[in-house]
Amino acid sequence: MFAAYNANLLTHSFHQAKVKVIMLSETDASPRIGQVVRIVHGREAGKLAIVIRIIDSRFVLLADGEKRRFDSPKRKALRHVELLPYVSPEVRRSLLEAGRVTNGKLRFAISTYVNHTVKRFEEGR
């Protein structure tokens, strides 16, 4: 199912739960639903968010589950975000199946990405 995203599947243990981490290749330039991004321009520069909808080739809707909740996402131009090589399978599945995702899942996905990145950094990868 995720092979279409040219992804490597890893298993990561987080709070006694097994979480599948999908790492995209560095050359993937188009956003994916459920992908973690870093905001690089604007008031929220430096913060992480998740793509919850792709409006067109230039704009996406972002939410983080805290300040930007699912019900009031931020419309952001793609040139103002940095696409990170991680897609949350839980968020993606929720959005594609039900059209909604809980704010808790958004927060969990961002914290999973941060913890995974820290672990990789500590291992020297």
pLDDT tens column, 66-105 = 999 999 999 999 999 999 999 999 999 999 999 999 999 9
- Cβ 84 vs Cβ 38: under 8 Å: yes
Q: Which string of b and e fits 56-76 if b means at least 16 CB within 10 Å?
A: eeebbbbbbbeebebeebbeb
Quote the pLDDT of residue 119. Answer: 85
- Cβ 118 vs Cβ 63: under 8 Å: no
pLDDT tens column, 80-89 = 999 999 999 9
- Cβ 109 vs Cβ 88: under 8 Å: yes
- Cβ 70 vs Cβ 102: under 8 Å: yes
Quote the pLDDT of residue 9. Answer: 36
pTM: 0.76
pLDDT tens column, 17-55 = 444 445 555 446 799 999 999 999 999 999 999 999 999
Residue 76, classed as helix, strand or coil, is strand
Who contacts 21 (Cβ-Cβ below 8 Å, separation ≥6)?
Answer: 9, 10, 11, 12, 86, 112, 116
- Cβ 112 vs Cβ 14: under 8 Å: yes
Model confidence at 8, pLDDT cuts 50, 70, 90, reads very low
